[in-house]
Amino acid sequence: MQSSFYKLVDQLTEGLQGEEVLLCSVAGERSDFVRLNGAKVRQAGSVEQGTLSIELVQGARHVSASYVLSGDGEQDFVRGGEVLGALREQLPFLPEDPHLMFNREVESTETRGHGELPETADAIRQVVDVGQGLDVVGIWASGEIMSGFANSLGQRNWFSAENFHFDWSVYQGGDKATKCGYAGTAWSGDELRRRMDRARVEVQALARKPKTVERGEYRVYLSPTALSEITDLMSWDGFGMKAQKSKVSPLMKAVDGDVRFDPRVSLSDNPSSGRSPGFDAKGFVKPPSVTLIDSGVYKDSLVSARSAAEFGVATTGANAGESPTCLEMAGGGLAEADVLKELGTGLWINNLWYLNYSDRPACKMTGMTRFATLWVEGGEVVAPVNVMRFDDSVFRILGEGLVDLTAEPQLMLSAMTYGKRDMGSSCLPGALVDGFCLTL
């Protein structure tokens, strides 16, 4: 796809008129997908696709469109010429954009990530084998994902990665299930078995008589998956320059220095991990890493090209929403094997769901516990807990309420496959928290 993409851009560039500038991006994949239910294969298939996005710029005016590539070079060129012509007709009728900004310096890059992926059939056979006796429901996706940028100024950027994710649940009965995930670039049957064995233990615990806890404050363990729901919501306008300048960021108190997180909390957006492209749709090359929170103190923000033009600062190559694509949090001092012992009496929360802000300026969130929330006494699992709502501030959860973070962060690749496989990821520890507020 890389060579055909570059060739297509070269051909379209030859048709430019006057001082027109062409910006092109491509997103593609070669992926296998398998859906399972009852630990049996219900649907399997492969997808090879690519979508080309074209932006035509003339002066301070610009307009864009996209179309699906056929894989036939001549047909794709003809279609691209038609799209380019339609964009050219629209340009004179558009207003000038005062915040238009694209990279006028040629910064070409190439990143190829090679994974140790199993044959899909082999991996699914292992899943079915280790899932015997369990109601395993989930989706497997694996293969190569690709992204490219090219412009009429001669810049060429390419990114590809080979990875897999298996996103599944083990259903116990009624409204009880445990949610699981395994993702990465190097497959391990032993790791799959370890995670499925853990799910087996959790689903056995879910068969016990459920406990309803009273509203109040509890000592809880938030798994990396549960913590990712919190950081995902934090990323909604939290780290972006635009939201901060317009004072709508839920992290404004931290940005302004009025609030600090626990010194053990450090967050960064790390494109150098090789899990997502190190360039944006305007041709800007991202820094290897952007430190968002450093030892509890808010540090840097994510800046898109538009925000850079509007506010006169340097861009970090952030996407239009200025959200992290490779969010990472440093681990703490809590060994995973010691979590139950250190939790003592409280709740093990495997997942949080349906999060939203209840008090945005205070970065206060509300949401639901759902899969595999367990009541623990004396370091031993006693019973599943019926669904509860929490309402608490991230400033407190990752501030004065934080007891410790697990030592080994867990890699989680986005399981979103709507339209195409998503390139987002996070690598987070679990968090032991005191005073977690359950409201009903």
Residue type at 185? Answer: T
**Taking the CB of residue 66, how many other CB atoms lie within 10 A of it?**
15
- pLDDT at residue 5, as a whole number: 98
Question: Contact 292/268 with Cβ under 8 angstroms?
Answer: yes
- Angstrom CA distances, 432 to 179, 262, 346, stand at 19, 12, 10
Instruction: Sketch the domain layout of the chain as residue ranges.
Output: 2-206, 216-438
User: Is 174's pLDDT higher than 90?
Assistant: no
- pLDDT at residue 371, as a whole number: 85
Average pLDDT over residues 93-113: 97
Summarize pLDDT for 18-63 with one digit per residue, the tens. Answer: 999 999 999 999 999 999 999 999 999 999 999 999 999 999 999 9
Summarize pLDDT for 256-303 with one digit per residue, the tens. Answer: 999 999 999 999 999 999 899 999 999 999 999 999 999 999 999 999
Secondary structure letter of residue 286 according to DSSP: P
Q: Taking CA 261 as the corner, what is the angle to CA 329 and CA 312, rounded to the nearest 5 degrees?
A: 80
Strand 156-173 to 176-184 pairing: antiparallel
Phi, psi for 196 (deg, rounded to 5): -70, -35
Summarize pLDDT for 370-381 with one digit per residue, the tens. Answer: 889 999 999 999
| Residue written as token pair 């430019």 | 16
User: Is 322's pLDDT higher than 90?
Assistant: yes
- pLDDT at residue 175, as a whole number: 86
Fold of 2-206: PmbA/TldD fold (3.30.2290)
d(CA 378, CA 366): 28
Element holding 248 (H helix, E strand): none
What percent of the chain lies above the pLDDT cut of 90? Answer: 97
